[in-house]
Amino acid sequence: MYLDRGLLLAVALTVILFPGIESWMFADPEHWYRPFIVWGAVIAGVYWNQRRRNFDEL
């Protein structure tokens, strides 16, 4: 099983930086869009990681 280095790095950085990201997301109720920014970044990162992959694999 091949584990992409970029994906492993992203998971490690997420685990390390999660407390800071969580406090930034929920610090101020006026900025309701912050969790959506984080999820948009996650979706963009997954797309960027999978765009080179060949989907004809079984």
pTM for the whole structure: 0.60
Q: Token pair 């390390």 is at which residue?
A: 16
Task: Give the number of other Cβ atoms within 10 Å of residue 4's Cβ.
Answer: 12
Task: Give the number of other Cβ atoms within 10 Å of residue 27's Cβ.
Answer: 10
Residue 57's region, left for phi above 0, alpha for psi from -120 to 50, else beta, is beta
Structure confidence at residue 16 (pLDDT): 92
Section 7-36 average pLDDT = 85
Q: Which residue has the higher pLDDT, 12 or 57?
A: 12
Mean per-residue pLDDT over the chain, rounded: 81
